[in-house]
Amino acid sequence: MEQDIVQHDNAMSSWIAVRVSRDGKLTKLLRVETDLSLNVDDPNYRSDALSSLVEAAITYLRQHPDVDSIELEQSRQGGFDVTRIGD
């Protein structure tokens, strides 16, 4: 599938995914991973940047009526440190 389809400074990656409901209905959604905080209580929350990202994603939806919705996901900060393997 097409990758990185939303062009925005805060869109780290974006792709089309398929959601399957309990009754087996398939819907297409645009998933966007962002470096922005999505928590309004976070001191780093930037509503203007988030609004701009949402507008970029909505522009994609308008151009692709087969895609049903948008899902934003905040990227996970940091990684996992492996300090010990085995016993």
Helices vs. strands in the chain: H and E counts, helices first? 1, 3
Quick: pLDDT tens for 38-81.
Answer: 999 999 999 999 999 999 999 999 999 999 999 999 998 654 45
Q: 30 lies in which domain range?
A: 11-74
Specify if 79 maps to a domain: no
* Number of domains the chain contains: 1
- Nearest Cα to Cα of residue 60 among 49, 48, 72: 72
85 has a pLDDT exceeding 80: no
User: Where does the pLDDT of residue 6 fall: very low under 50, low under 70, confident under 90, or very high at 90 and above?
Assistant: very high
In a domain, 27, yes or no: yes
Helix ranges restricted to H, 1-87? 47-63
Tokens 């309004």 locate to: 40
- On whether residue 6 sits in a domain, the answer given is no
Q: Is residue 16 scored above 60 in pLDDT?
A: yes
Name the pLDDT band for 19 (thresholds 50, 70, 90): very high
